[in-house]
Each structure stands twice: as C-alpha cells, then as structure tokens.
Amino acid sequence: MPTLKLSNTISIFDIIGPVMIGPSSSHTAGATRIGYSAYQALKRLGDEPKEIKIKLYNSFSDTGVGHKTDLALLAGCLGLKPEDEQIIQAKEVAQKKQVKFEVKWGLHSSDFHPNTAVIKLKGEREKVQLIGYSLGGGLIKTFSEKNFKPYNHQSKEQLKDYFSLNNFTEKITTGRQFLQLVLAFEEKLAESRNYQDFLDEKIIDGIADTNNPPKISKIQINQEMYRRWQIMKESIDKGTKSRQRAATGLFGDDANRILKSKLNLISPVIENGITYSIGVAEHNARMGKIVAAPTAGSCGIIPGTLRAMQEQFSFEDSDIVQALVVAGAFGAITARQVALAGAVAGCQAEIGVAGSMAAAAGTFLLGGNLKKMENAASLVLANLLGLTCDPIMGRVEVPCILRNGMVTSMVFSAIELALDGVDYYIPYDEVVSVMKNIGTDMDEKYRETSEGGLATTKTACRLCARKGQCLR
C-alpha cells in the first residue's frame, strides 16, 4: 500500500463523477459546489441568504455564459447541488424565495485561479464572503477573505495526490491485482475523509466532518460505482433518442445519423461506441444529467466505449463496474500531476485523459495485464498531446461533442494494438508529465477562454455576432 497523507488524496469518485447537470464539470458542477459551500457557511451561522452577489473571474467570466456558470453559482448559493435539475431555473428559484441576486462579468486577475468566483451572501443577521476555485472535474477549493493567498500559477498546491504507476508496474502484473490494489486503497482512503458525504453527492471542501468518518467497504464502493453506471446508461439512452437541435444549431440528432448509417466502414462495436459517446455528450450539452468522466466535456467517451463493449462481448454490469474502478484509478493517477480542466491544461487534460482512462478500462475488460492497460492509455494520450480547449461561444458543443466520438474510435484502436502486443515506449506517468508541461506552456487563449483556435475562425465569429454572444 502506498504511503500517503490520505486525507488530502483524490478518489476514483472524484474522477468518475460528480453526477451532475451539464454542460461543464468545472464551470457548472464546480461552480454549483462553490456556491453551495458559501450557502453552507452561512447556514452554519444559523442564517439563510437574502442577498447574493457573485463576481466571475478569468475563464469563469470568459466562457461562463455558454456554460451557465452564473446559474450554477446562484443555484449553489440557494442550497442546490450539482445533481439538482432545478439549476437551470435558479433565477426563478431565487425570485420565489425572494432572494436578491447580482452577477458581475468581465473580471480578470492574475491573483486568481483560471476558474474563480467571489461570492458575498447576506442573511437577516449574518454575512459570508467566499473565494472559490474550480479545479476541474467538479473539484473545488474555497477560501475565506482571512485565509486567502494569491494563486501561484506554478504551484501544485491545488492538486491531490494518488499513487504512481511507476511504483507498481514491476510488482503487479495482472489487471485483477491492480483492481484489488485500487479497491484496498479506496477503503483506506475512506477512513480519512467523510466518504459517505461524498457518496451522497454532498460537498467536502470546507464543510465535511472528518472527525468521525464512517467505515466504507469494497462492497459499498462497488455499489456506488454501479449507481453511476446506471446513470451513464440512462444518459446514453436519452442522448441517442433525442432529436432536439440546439438553439444555436451547433448540435443535435448526430447520434441518430450514425445509427442510420449504411456505409459499414467501421465495425459495429466501434460505430456503436461513437454513437453512444456523441449521444451522452449531446445530452450533457442540453443540461441533462450525466456523470463527469473525468469532466463533463469528455463525459461520453467512457460510457460509450464500455456500453459498446458490453453489448459486443456480453459483459455483466458487475464487470463494467470493475472497469470503471480501473478507469477512475488511471484518471486519479493522472490528476496527481495535473488538474483535469481545459482552463488549466487544454482539452488534452479532458478528452485526452478520458480516452486514456477508457483505453485502460477496455483493455482490462478483455483480460489485458497492467502493462497492456498502460500501453493502451499511453497510446491515446500521447496522440492527443497539445490538444487545445477552444469552444465556440464558450459552449460545450463545438468541438467538444463530436470530439467525444472521434476519440472513442481512437480508444478502440489503442485497445486492439495493446492487446496485440504493441508496446508504447514512453511509460504512462511520463506521458502525463509531458502533458502537464505542455499545458503550462500553452498560451492562455487555447485554455477555455474562447479567444483562440476554432472559436476565432471566421465562421465562429459570424455565429457569435449573429447570436449576440461575442466573448471578445
């Protein structure tokens, strides 16, 4: 068992999760959690919010309109959680509760994390001010005015730790041994944090009581992962059945187009995987309920891959649950080096990592050992290094949705190559290290600001002008 300060360690449920309303894990789910932390702080003082003031900074301000970041923060301040379907009606909820609210956009400061909100809540008697960072994948960090320090963009302090693959590739050979290691690690982790609060989709940062954490067994870990797999399957079904086009005209019904294809250029399992991945991503963009994996922008790849493999090879749900545990571990191993957020390291840290997680999980399902799982993960991530996060109009639509499908096709290629004995020369931990360095070097305009790349093409700019949503 690795020796770590487990109370500050990321969990597989931080990666395969949160369960949330779309479209963005950092800009919607993370924002809701920041607001909810402020709400809980005021509630602990025995008060309820009567007035809410929110300031959005940096990427939160640049692309928050398309991600519904303002609604998410407001919803959290009103006591709603990331899974609550009322998030999209947050303004109506506030009006019904007679809560005044104000949102200020267009703010930038190098003192803050790329995804930052400053919240002031006033109740009848008490008031709270909170600064919140959304770190990616729904993870957050919050500060009071008293304990706030300017954000160090070169610091690792916002990252949680997990074990490194390099420590175990020589000691562990089979996928089953790796699975048991992860489950044992998660059991140990459960002793040092309020795990039940986490499983119930409550918020840990700043509010969890860790003095008397409950004991959580491997059975309960599997049960919670099973719940998340059922939500993933529901998002596939709803996403592929919906024919609804977006108001922007940028997406909708594409999953159905693939289902109707008669070309047969690719195998049925890959075609289904692409279809399901796009369906989930479309469902997310419609603000449907999904499981971030590891983020909302990349939410289709893992369920799409695993559902297609389940149908092709008749895997039981219990088999898929085990694969999700493996996927979560690879994501956590990645997150020990770099935050999984487009605003921090570009889309390589979202779509790229989701692809590597899916490749490892799929290789595990087909009996691959740890080395083959690592090879498959490296094959995907190494071929997506430098991938920019450049959403048109700041929305998780273009290029995000179809990118889920395209990377899913790469995942199946990586699984087959790895199982055929193709080795990738660079170990996975080192590929992740390169991804981190590239993310640090990447110009800010390519990190979820919609100020570079595809978001600034002539066609994108014409669309922004027509919709009155130019972000520059």
Give the CATH number of the domain where residue 280 resides. Answer: 1.10.4100
What is the CATH number for 124?
3.30.1330.90
153 inside domain: no
Are residue 172 and residue 316 in the same domain, yes or no? yes
306 inside domain: yes
Closest-CA residue to 114 (of 136, 142, 130): 136
Closest-CA residue to 269 (of 300, 235, 311, 237): 311
Q: At what angle do helices 268-285 and 301-313 cross, to 10 degrees?
A: 140
- What is d(CA 281, CA 401) in angstroms, rounded to the nearest whole number? 5
245 inside domain: yes
- Residue that finishes a domain, picked among 78, 112, 144: 144
H or E stretch at 320: helix 317-335
Specify the pLDDT at position 158. Answer: 43
In Å, what is the CA distance from 12 to each residue of 288, 338, 359, 471?
A: 22, 15, 16, 35
Specify the pLDDT at position 215. Answer: 56
* Residue 396 structural domain: 165-467
- What is d(CA 155, CA 279) in angstroms, rounded to the nearest whole number? 37
Q: By the 8 A CB rule, do 42 and 99 touch?
A: no
More confidently predicted of 247 and 197: 247
- Residue that finishes a domain, picked among 112, 144, 176: 144
Over residues 4-17, mean pLDDT:
72
- What is d(CA 225, CA 352) in angstroms, rounded to the nearest whole number? 22
Q: By the 8 A CB rule, do 158 and 152 touch?
A: no
12 inside domain: no
More confidently predicted of 221 and 104: 104
10 Å Cβ neighbour count for 132? 29
Are residue 61 and residue 194 in the same domain, yes or no? no
Q: How many helices (H) and strands (E) does the chain have?
A: 18, 7
Are residue 91 and residue 213 in the same domain, yes or no? no
410 inside domain: yes
Q: Say whether pLDDT at 2 is over 70.
A: no
Specify the pLDDT at position 131. Answer: 94
In Å, what is the CA distance from 300 to each residue of 42, 54, 185, 282, 283?
A: 36, 31, 27, 9, 9
Are residue 187 and residue 133 in the same domain, yes or no? no
Count up the domains in the chain and report the number: 2
- Tens-digit pLDDT profile for residues 388-402: 999 998 888 999 999
Are residue 313 and residue 460 in the same domain, yes or no? yes
Specify the pLDDT at position 268. Answer: 93
Are residue 284 and residue 327 in the same domain, yes or no? yes
Q: Say whether pLDDT at 79 is over 70.
A: yes
Global pTM reads 0.87
Q: Percentage of residues in the chain with pLDDT exceeding 70?
A: 88
- Tens-digit pLDDT profile for residues 411-467: 999 999 999 999 999 999 999 999 999 999 999 999 988 999 999 999 999 988 876
Specify the pLDDT at position 221. Answer: 87
Are residue 118 and residue 239 in the same domain, yes or no? no
- What is d(CA 377, CA 293) in angstroms, rounded to the nearest whole number? 15
- Tens-digit pLDDT profile for residues 156-175: 444 445 667 766 656 678 99
C-alpha torsion 265→270→274→280, nearest 10: 150
Query: What is the pLDDT of the chain when averaged over all its residues?
Result: 87
Q: By the 8 A CB rule, do 419 and 369 touch?
A: no
Q: Say whether pLDDT at 13 is over 60.
A: yes
Are residue 28 and residue 109 in the same domain, yes or no? yes
260 inside domain: yes
Over residues 44-63, mean pLDDT:
94
Residue 368's SS3 state is: coil
Are residue 92 and residue 202 in the same domain, yes or no? no
373 inside domain: yes
Are residue 207 and residue 105 in the same domain, yes or no? no
- Which range among 115-129, 139-153, 356-370 shows the weakest confidence by mean pLDDT? 139-153
Name the band, by pLDDT with cuts 50, 70 and 90, for residue 138.
confident
- What is d(CA 370, CA 170) in angstroms, rounded to the nearest whole number? 10
More confidently predicted of 193 and 290: 290
Are residue 132 and residue 194 in the same domain, yes or no? no
Q: By the 8 A CB rule, do 57 and 108 touch?
A: yes
15 inside domain: no
Name the band, by pLDDT with cuts 50, 70 and 90, for residue 275.
very high
Are residue 253 and residue 354 in the same domain, yes or no? yes
- Residue that finishes a domain, picked among 84, 112, 144: 144
Specify the pLDDT at position 470. Answer: 54
